[in-house]
Structure 1
Amino acid sequence: METKNNLEVIDDLLKSEKAEQARSLFENLEEQNTADYFLLQGKIEQKYQNWGKAINAFNRVLEIDPQNAEATNNLHIIKNILNFWNPDLLNP
């Protein structure tokens, strides 16, 4: 039960733009094989633009909970960022 509360505290820190505190607390948590744990890990990695780690974390969420809409949406956002291409940048 305490771990669930820790995950909620970390998520609240992320939402209030306190990413450093959230990351620090998350790193001190014991790893769990839960969708909530990996979802939070993915959001932290996404915040720091660690795209590969974020994608891996969100994919783990979907392995555990295939219907998780938040993980699906975050993966879609990351893929759009990584696939962004601006032809004007190539034509100075």
Structure 2
Amino acid sequence: MAQQIEQISQLIDENRLDEASGLIDEGLQKNSKLAELYFLRGQIQMKKEAWGSAINCFRKALEIDPVFPGAQNRIEMAQSILGFFNPDLLNP
């Protein structure tokens, strides 16, 4: 499984998100309790700017492993992006 996780990470880095998603789905069918796979799915969702879905994936990773490295930081990052407000953009 470690090799598959490394392969998924590489695909994400190369922006081959559909291929990475397919491998994550395969991995979750074999073992739905791997926090790493949910974390990687969250990374894909962030690249797609699907912030809510990304947050849900990172929360699922934390549900499985409460101290999963980086998951809480990614949740905070996505929430920060969702909460960004610049009044100057509304008043040209």
Paired residues in the alignment total 90
State the identity as a percent. 37
Partner AA of 1:43 in structure 2: Q
> Aligned partners of 2:16 and 2:78: how far apart in 1?
21
| CA-to-aligned-CA distance 1:17-70 (integer Å, 9 cap, x gap) | 433432343344426211111111111111111112111110011112212231
> Aligned partners of 2:42 and 2:72: how far apart in 1?
11
Partner AA of 2:10 in structure 1: D
**Corresponding residue SS for 2:70:** helix
2:2 aligns to what?
Answer: 4
Partner AA of 2:61 in structure 1: V
Bigger shift: residues 57-66 or 20-29:
20-29
**Structure 1: where are the runs of 5+ without partners?**
none
1:69 aligns to what?
Answer: 69
**Corresponding residue SS for 1:69:** coil
1:57 aligns to what?
Answer: 57
RMSD across aligned C-alpha pairs, in angstroms?
1.8
2:80 aligns to what?
Answer: 80
> Aligned partners of 2:22 and 2:65: how far apart in 1?
26
**Structure 2: where are the runs of 5+ without partners?**
none
Q: CA deviation at 1:71?
A: 0.5
2:19 aligns to what?
Answer: 21
TM-score, structure 1 as length reference: 0.81
> Aligned partners of 2:26 and 2:66: how far apart in 1?
27
